[in-house]
């Protein structure tokens, strides 16, 4: 897959089959659209092109409501789309100026001129251009003049996609990772750099690698204890147990992402660790005695081992 970030450096596409969207999560619903792209491309020996925006339009247009949480960071999205076999991903740097382009200019100067689309696959309610003034009706009106085929994604499919994205976010926010994973079609994961904690873990017999996320917009699942698989620098995943929380037993205040890898004893500070969430075990608790916490960690580990098989 070729990734393009400079609109002035785009190649000449061969029978481009294009679609536009955020594709956050690249979940099972998105893969339905991707299949349509690939089918259309096959029929005309064309190339599949996904146009996406970074940052997310909402971040640029409503910077004050900073509530957006991503299922996938841009590098994660790129990796997932690559796996799907997409030919081109165009990451449009979304700016205020870009958002102020009129709908007709967006269509003619951006979509038509830059992509010369053979086919545009678009949601029935897709809006574009300044104040979202353009839509399917404008595409339909210009279709003949520019000779592109228009494939409309019907209301039901768009609705299902939105419901699915919302369900995945809500499930992760509630710790229901199994449901989220089912809807994603893969195991939800996040990647962080191992940083220093309070050096308490080793004393408890449970060294835990503290993860620092590269992108603060990444959605962190609900606080609690999870059975996970941890991959260090992209190596084979290892069974592990994870705690997300502020360590109430120690009156901690900040949210920590900590992973204890089973049967493992290496210094992995500054390494990249990717954690995949397999199942939720329990919520975080405040323990009166440290021994009680350790006894509970023993139970959590046994449970996680059992889940991970």
Ligand X SMILES: Nc1ncnc2c1ncn2[C@@H]1O[C@H](COP(=O)(O)OP(=O)(O)O)[C@@H](O)[C@H]1O
Q: Encoding tokens for residue 136?
A: 């399917």
To ligand FMN, the closest distance from the beta carbon of 268 in angstroms equals 12
End-to-end alpha carbon distance in the chain:
35
Q: Check residue 194 for interaction with ligand X (CB under 6 A).
A: yes
Q: Encoding tokens for residue 23?
A: 């594709």
Distance CA 292, CA 38 (A): 55
Q: Which is nearer to ligand X, 41 or 281 (CB)?
A: 281
For 122, counting Cβ atoms within 10 Å of its Cβ (0-12 exposed, 13-18 middle, 19+ buried), the class is buried
To ligand X, the closest distance from the beta carbon of 195 in angstroms equals 7
Q: Check residue 250 for interaction with ligand X (CB under 6 A).
A: no
Which span sits near ligand X by CB under 6 A: 89-97, 173-181, 203-211, 213-221? 203-211
Binding residue count for ligand X, defined by CB under 6 A: 20
Residue 150 pairs in a beta bridge with 120
To ligand FMN, the closest distance from the beta carbon of 180 in angstroms equals 20
Q: What is the DSSP letter of 31?
A: H
Q: Encoding tokens for residue 270?
A: 């500054």
Distance CA 200, CA 183 (A): 37
To ligand X, the closest distance from the beta carbon of 262 in angstroms equals 7
Q: Which is nearer to ligand X, 19 or 208 (CB)?
A: 208
Which span sits near ligand X by CB under 6 A: 6-14, 69-77, 197-205, 295-303? 197-205
Q: Check residue 261 for interaction with ligand X (CB under 6 A).
A: yes
Distance CA 71, CA 188 (A): 8
To ligand X, the closest distance from the beta carbon of 206 in angstroms equals 7
Q: Which is nearer to ligand FMN, 156 or 251 (CB)?
A: 251
Q: Is the torsion defined by CA of 173, 175, 179, 184 positive or negative?
A: positive
122: nearest Cα among 277, 17, 1, 213:
17
Beta strands in the chain (DSSP E): 2-4, 16-20, 47-54, 88-93, 117-123, 149-153, 189-195, 209-213, 224-232, 238-245, 256-261, 272-282
Q: Which is nearer to ligand X, 127 or 202 (CB)?
A: 202
Question: Considering CB distances under 5 to 8 angstroms, the limit depending on partner class, which of ligand X, ligand FMN, none binds residue 225?
Answer: ligand FMN
Q: Check residue 208 for interaction with ligand X (CB under 6 A).
A: yes
To ligand X, the closest distance from the beta carbon of 19 in angstroms equals 41
Judge whether 21 and 37 are in contact, CB under 8 Å.
Answer: no
Which span sits near ligand X by CB under 6 A: 147-155, 170-178, 196-204, 287-295? 196-204
User: According to CB under 6 A, which one of 65, 265, 289, 306 is a site residue for ligand X?
Assistant: 265
Max CA distance (Å), the chain: 75
The residue count for the chain: 309
Q: Which is nearer to ligand X, 22 or 193 (CB)?
A: 193
Question: Considering CB distances under 5 to 8 angstroms, the limit depending on partner class, which of ligand X, ligand FMN, none binds residue 60?
Answer: none
Please give the residue ranges that form the binding site for ligand FMN (CB under 6 A).
197-201, 204, 206, 208, 210, 225, 241, 243, 247-250, 258, 260, 284-285, 293, 297, 300
User: According to CB under 6 A, which one of 2, 5, 95, 269 is a site residue for ligand X?
Assistant: 269
Distance CA 117, CA 119 (A): 5
Interface residue list for ligand X (CB under 6 A): 194, 196-202, 207-210, 260-261, 264-269
């Amino acid at each position: 897959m070729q990734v393009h970030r400079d609109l002035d450096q785009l190649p000449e596409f061969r029978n481009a089959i294009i679609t536009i969207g955020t594709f956050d999560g690249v979940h099972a619903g998105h893969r339905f659209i991707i299949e349509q792209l690939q089918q259309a491309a096959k029929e005309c020996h064309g190339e599949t092109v996904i146009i996406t925006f970074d940052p997310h339009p909402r971040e640029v247009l409503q910077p004050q409501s900073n509530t957006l949480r991503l299922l996938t960071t841009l590098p994660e999205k790129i990796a997932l789309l690559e796996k799907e076999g997409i030919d081109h991903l165009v990451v449009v740097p979304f700016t205020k100026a870009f958002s102020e382009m009129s709908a007709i200019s967006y269509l003619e100067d951006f979509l038509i001129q830059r992509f010369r689309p053979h086919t545009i696959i678009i949601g029935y309610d897709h809006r574009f251009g300044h104040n979202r003034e353009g839509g399917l009706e404008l595409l339909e009106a210009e279709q003949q003049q520019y000779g592109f085929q228009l494939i409309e994604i019907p209301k039901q499919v768009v609705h299902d996609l939105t419901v699915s994205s919302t369900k995945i976010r809500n499930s992760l926010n509630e710790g229901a990772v199994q449901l989220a994973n089912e809807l994603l079609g893969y195991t939800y994961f996040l990647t962080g750099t191992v940083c220093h904690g309070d050096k308490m873990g080793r004393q408890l017999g449970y060294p835990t690698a503290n993860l620092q996320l590269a992108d603060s917009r990444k959605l962190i699942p609900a606080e609690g204890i999870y059975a996970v698989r941890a991959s260090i620098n992209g190596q084979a995943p290892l069974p592990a147990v994870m705690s997300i929380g502020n360590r109430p037993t120690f009156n901690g205040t900040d949210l920590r992402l900590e992973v204890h890898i089973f049967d493992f004893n290496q210094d992995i500070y500054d390494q990249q660790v990717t954690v995949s969430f397999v199942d939720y075990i329990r919520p975080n608790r405040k323990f009166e005695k440290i021994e009680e916490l350790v006894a509970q960690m023993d139970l959590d580990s046994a449970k996680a081992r059992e889940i991970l098989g």
